[in-house]
Amino acid sequence: MLLLVVAVVIALPTLDSRVMKQLDPRSVSILNSIAHNIAISAERYPNVPLQVLITPKEAQTKNFYLVSTNGDIIASTKASKAIRRFILQSEESLVPKVKQYKNWLMTGPISVVLRGEQFQLYAAQQLPAEHNIWLINVLDRPFLLLFITMLVSMPLCALLAWHISNPLQKLKKTASDITDGNLDAVVPATQRQDEIGELARSLRTMMLSIREHISLQHRLLSDISHELRSPLTRLKMSVALSKRHYGETKEITRIDNESERLEEMIAALLNLSKMQLNATTKESFNLDSLLQPICDDAIFEAEQLEKRFSHQVIPDLDIKGFPALFGSAVENVIRNALRYAANQVDLAFVSDSDKITLIITDDGPGVPEDEIEQIFKPFYRVSQARDRESGGAGLGLAITENAIRQHHGKIVASNRDTRGLQISITIPIC
């Protein structure tokens, strides 16, 4: 585009007829023919003055001038300042020149011998008033020339910008789809042979690699969990047989408790694997429809534990995400709060224009400040509030944190000023 604009700007002045240029061969031939005819007429009519011989029939639109070697100008009309200036500028030229001055086009010189004396022949032709007027107006107005140049180049620039930006916009949408978990998205512009094509092919390779690694991870997690179930089942059968033969002993009870805990951990791992395996594409879900059954179950469980669960009115919002994962995350936090609450668990909502925050609070013992950032790590167990007697595999909050992270949200735990723990879950509304 720069080369095109520069070429136009350089070429336009060469079209300006007001700039002295070399006369084209066709015009030189015509001027030579006129000089030859004048020479023949001068020989044929030796007594006729030269100014008469060089006066054409269309004298109103054409004038001829003869310049002698001593600089005298012979013409049928008085030579204007323009023709005098043109004669001075071109007298040393070896080839005929042409220049426009206002509406007169001047050409010459052509050497001609008349009656034994050397002359230089010049011609001046009057042009129509509209001749090249548009080009002259453009050349005389730099801002108009700039505007025309921009007007011509803008569609080409727009086409070039569209050629670059359109596939980039499609690649951006594909990247957003991959971020949302859609690993089957179609990557455009892979056939292009430029940098955008290389980017598209790299994006497709990355997507295929991510898809393969996630599939292998899920398969490995599922296989490990299933393989652990077989020895666990045999272990539980052995415990049951030992109870039948030897009765309840401290050691058998401990083995039974640990096997139950191990089964709970394996079930949590399988649940996590299934949810992640199914969470491949985000879908729109209603927050009220998703959380109301979870809150109803929490109220029922709280009554069985002789505790209370209350919640604010659930906002009627549509959220794009993984409903099973998000529902499981909220349910894990609520059940965890019910487990450690003394009497009361509350669920509140704070919504903004682009996000919503769920706040779950309980009146339990809370978490030591130096351990509060660790509770979302897998298999982490708080020493005071979550000891061996309280149960739990240490996976619930880790699953929750993973699910919230997949929704591009965040989960934060903090101790309340009075008593208990507060967990805030914030996810974007989109």
Return d(Cα 382, Cα 389) in angstroms, integer.
12
Residue pair 23/98 in contact by the 8 Å Cβ criterion? yes
DSSP lists the bridge partners of residue 73 as: 67
Residue 39, burial from CB neighbour count under 10 angstroms (0-12, 13-18, 19+): middle
State yes or no: is 131 an active-site residue. no
Find all residues with CB under 8 Å of 320, minimum gap 6, and list them. Answer: 180, 282, 283, 284, 285, 430
Task: Exactly one of 226, 245, 311, 407 is catalytic; name it.
Answer: 226
Which phi and psi angles does 186 have, rounded to 5°?
-85, 125
Candidates 359, 351, 346; CA nearest to 317 is: 351
Going by C-alpha positions, the residue among 247, 155, 164 that lies closest to residue 199 is 164
Question: Hey, is 219 helix, strand or coil?
Answer: helix
Q: Is 116 left (phi over 0), alpha (psi -120 to 50) or beta?
A: left
Environment class of 274 (CB within 10 Å of its CB; exposed 0-12, middle 13-18, buried 19+)? middle
Residues that are catalytic: 226
